Amino acid sequence: MNISDTFGDGIRDIPFASHADTESEAVRRIRDFGEDYLGITRELWKLVESQLSQEAGTPSQALEKGLDQLRNALKEKFVRLYVPAFGPLHAQQAATERLMSTTLRWQRAAARVSELLSAVAADAVARLVAVLSGPDASGPPVTSLRQLHDLWVECGEQAYATAAHSEDFAAAQTELLTAMVEMRFEQRRQIEEWARAFNLPTRAEVDAIHRRLHELARLLREAQKR
Amino acid sequence: MTRLAIDAMQAAGEIADFSRRMAAGALALATLEAPAEGCSARDIVHREDGIVLYRYRPQAASAGLPPVVICYALVNRPYMMDLQPDRSLIRGLLARGLDVYLIDWGYPGAADRFLELDDYVNRYLGGCIDHVRHTLGVPAVNLLGVCQGGTLALCHAALHPEGVRNLITMVTPVDFHTPENLLSKWIRGVDVDRMVEAFGNIPGELLNATFLSLMPLRLTSQKYAGIADIADDPAALANFLRMENWIFDSPDQAGAAFAQFIRWFFQENRLVLGGLMIGGGRVDLRQLDCPVLNIHAAQDHLVPPSATLPLRGLIGSHDYTSFEFDGGHIGIYVSARAQEILPRTIAEWLEKR
Q: What is the pLDDT of residue A79?
A: 59
- The correct answer on CATH 3.90.226.10 for the domain covering B42-351 is no
What is the domain partition of chain B in residue ranges? 42-351
What is the domain partition of chain A in residue ranges? 1-84, 89-201
Q: Which residue of B has its CA nearest to A144?
A: B6
Residues 6+ apart with CB under 8 A from A199: none
**How far does Cα A209 stand from its chain's mean position?**
34
Which residue in A131, A142, A153 has the most chain B C-beta atoms within 10 A of its own C-beta, making it the best mutation to test that interface? Answer: A153
Please name which of B184, B146, B149 lies closest in space to residue B330, comparing C-alpha atoms.
B146
B222 vs A: CB within 8 A: yes
- B147 belongs to the catalytic site: yes
User: Out of B39, B71, B128, B147, which one is annotated catalytic?
Assistant: B147
**How far does Cα A42 stand from its chain's mean position?**
24
User: Average pLDDT, stretch A65-84?
Assistant: 67
Q: Which residues pair with A142 in a beta bridge?
A: B4
Interface ipTM = 0.88
Neighbours of B333 (CB within 10 A): 25
Q: Do A153 and B218 touch (CB under 8 A)?
A: yes
CB of B201 closer than 8 Å to CB of B108: yes
Dist CA A24 CA A10 (whole Å):
14
Q: Do A157 and B218 touch (CB under 8 A)?
A: yes
Q: What is the pLDDT of residue B208?
A: 94
Q: What is the pLDDT of residue A43?
A: 75
Q: What is the pLDDT of residue A47?
A: 72
| Predicted confidence band of residue B38 (pLDDT cuts 50, 70, 90) | very high
Q: What is the pLDDT of residue A129?
A: 92
Q: Which residues of A touch B1 (CB under 8 A)?
A: 133, 137
Q: Do A170 and B186 touch (CB under 8 A)?
A: yes
Q: Do B113 and A142 touch (CB under 8 A)?
A: no
Q: Which residue of B has its CA nearest to A187?
A: B198
B282 vs A: CB within 8 A: no
Q: What is the pLDDT of residue A139?
A: 85
Residue B199 exposed, middle or buried by CB count within 10 Å (0-12, 13-18, 19+): buried
Q: What single DSSP character describes residue B283? A: -
What percentage of residues in chain B have a pLDDT greater than 90? 93
User: Average pLDDT, stretch A69-92?
Assistant: 70
Q: What is the pLDDT of residue A156?
A: 96
Q: A60: distance to nearest CA of chain B, Å?
A: 30
| Predicted confidence band of residue A52 (pLDDT cuts 50, 70, 90) | low
Residue A58 has pLDDT above 60, yes or no: no
Residue A2 has pLDDT above 50, yes or no: no
Q: What is the pLDDT of residue A9?
A: 46
B189 vs A: CB within 8 A: yes
Q: Outline where B262-323 has alpha helix (H).
A: 270-273, 305-308, 311-314
Dist CA B275 CA B284 (whole Å):
8
Q: Do B18 and A173 touch (CB under 8 A)?
A: no
